[in-house]
Chains A and B, each alone.
Chain A
Amino acid sequence: MNDLYRARLNREPSAFRKAAVPIASVMAASMAPLLPIVASAPVLPPFGLVVLICWQILRPGLWPVWAGVPFGMFDDILSGQPVGSAVLLWSIILIALDLIEQRYIWRNYWQDWFIATVCLIFAIAGGLAINNFLVNDTRISVLFPQMILAIFTYPLVLRLVARLDHIRLKR
């Protein structure tokens, strides 16, 4: 009898689920380049980064500031960028998001979107800059479709992440 009520009262979300859902979602999104798309131009938005930014905006302080290092490493191995580029860029983005979080506490939806836009453009253009430094020059105009897609993916991914947050905190 006592056990029966204990199971329904004072419930806590599972600690494992609380930690694992965000991590698993970012990693799953980083695996997007494994989809059977053989593209002759960069078209796929950096889904891993979009999901990471969404979690950081939705739940500030969910991860420590250095979370960009392991996530970036995982993304680099799968994305075809030289290893280290996402480690560098994502770390910078997470530090910037943390500083923004401290400076500007009350933001509305559009401001969040603007911040995410700046971060995504920085990451995509930064990836190109790193490639150009390492190998050869590609024009930045090649990336415009990818940037636009990434910017308009953000609101959709934010909804998805909010849904995942419900699952994460479900009791």
Chain B
Amino acid sequence: MAPPRNRRPGFSRKAQLQIFTGYLLAFTGAFAGLLLLALSYFDPAAFSAVRSMTAEVTAPPARLLTGMRVGTQNGWREVAAYFDAGSKNAALQREVERNRMRLIEARALRQENRELRRLLGLIKQDGRPVATARLINSSASSSRRYATLDVGSRQGVQRGQPVRAQRGLIGRVLETGPNTSRVLLLSDAENVVPVRRARDGTVAFSQGRGDGRVDIKLIDIGINPFKVGDVMVTSGNGGIYPPNVPVAIIEKLTNDGAIGKLLANPAGTDFVIVQEMYEPELAYPEASGLPPADSSPASPLSAPRQRETQPPATAPAPTSSAPDQAEASVPVQGPAAR
């Protein structure tokens, strides 16, 4: 059967109109989609309320499912641990002996480090943990990389706080609801993190590729110093992310940097830690020999200079705001008003 010549369903005016209205609505809908996209473009937080509400509603079953997933994973791990348990036990005992020695050394080093810092007058600002939580789901079907965390503003989580796992950085908090929050993962293309090479401090920044890896881009363009296997840690520049959190291990070299594999795989981590936003280390004013930023009074030169630029009609205005200064500057104001 060939398709009918005209698409009219018959002589029923109502049926014809219904088809026409359907198409009209469909095209209007597509256009409305464009408008919504424009809204998301100009105001990325426009729909955050709806999203966080949905996340709140769907969080309890997601929590349950996550618990089941983690339980199954741990169960398998325990079963797998029974194979070669004997040899592993012996190896672990040897390692415990070695680690005990190292632990003592590390304690001594920590003490020394503390004393040296005190000497230098540095305030140590650790990103104190705000909350410990699980990632309950993620935007697995989108090309953006978000995950949902099962703590929110009620637990003290705030926008911008870094999220890390034991093995390394995960991302940062993007939106918060009462009991859930959205995390921008490191592998998202929008997530740029200042990093440095753990070995010698070569500065670079990492940008997500969308596939669980990051681009490590050099700031200093020149000979590519990276080698496969280098570990990149956060540098702490610019705040937000505390320094020395492992980020990625370099997997492949490119023309202008390298491609790194994330050290903390969000899929494999059980718990993550939300930390306070990092503010760069401040030096004690006394130690650095500089005056404190806000303790010096405003320089007296600024007042007459401002009056010179102002037209004479507005000259009385500053006198009302600062009467004691006005008395002092009467001889200065006199010739300016004339």
Which A residues lie at the B interface, using CB under 8 A?
A: 31-47, 64-66, 68-69, 72, 76-89, 91-92, 94-95, 102-106, 127-128, 130-131, 134-139, 142-143, 146
The count of residues in chain B whose C-beta lies closer than 8 Å to any C-beta of chain A is 60
Residues on B with C-beta less than 8 A from A78 are 54
CB of A42 within 8 A of CB of B33, answer no
Q: Which residue of B lies closest to A64 (CB)?
A: B22
Q: For window 250-303 of chain B, which residues contact chain A by CB distance below 8 Å? A: 262, 265-267
Instruction: List which B1-40 residues lie within 8 A (CB) of chain A.
Output: 1, 3, 7, 22-23, 25-30, 32-40
Partner of A136, one of B22, B58, B189: B189
Chain B nearest CB: distance from A143 CB in Å? 6
When the two chains form their complex, are residues A85 and B33 in contact, meaning their CB atoms are under 8 A apart?
A: yes
Question: Would you call B22 and A36 a contact (CB within 8 A)?
Answer: no
Q: Are B143 and A79 in contact (CB under 8 A)?
A: no
Chain B nearest CB from A85 CB (Å) reads: 6
Task: Find A35's partner among B35, B65, B210, B262 (CB 8 Å cutoff).
Answer: B65
Tell me the B105-122 residues at the A interface (CB within 8 Å): none
Contacts of B138 in A (CB 8 A): 33, 37-39, 80
Chain B 304-333 against A: per-residue CB contact (8 Å), 1 yes, 0 no? 000000000000000000000000000000
A34-B137, A139-B210, A142-B211 as given contacts; A40 in contact with B145, CB under 8 Å: yes
Q: List 4 tightest A-B contacts by C-beta distance, closest first.
A: A80-B139, A84-B36, A88-B33, A40-B212
Q: How far is the CA of A88 from the CA of B28 in the complex (A)?
A: 10
- Bound-complex Cα distance A78 to B57 (A): 12
Contacts of A64 in B (CB 8 A): 22, 25-26
| A33-B140 in contact given A95-B26, A142-B209 (Cβ < 8 Å) | yes
Q: Are B137 and A42 in contact (CB under 8 A)?
A: no
B37 touches A134 (CB 8 A): yes
Given contacts A83-B40, A103-B3, contact A38 B135 (CB under 8 A): yes
Q: Give the CA-CA distance A82 to B105 in the complex, in Å.
A: 52
* Best-buried of A37, A64, A95 by chain B (most CB within 10 Å): A37
Contact between B136 and A36, CB atoms less than 8 A apart: yes
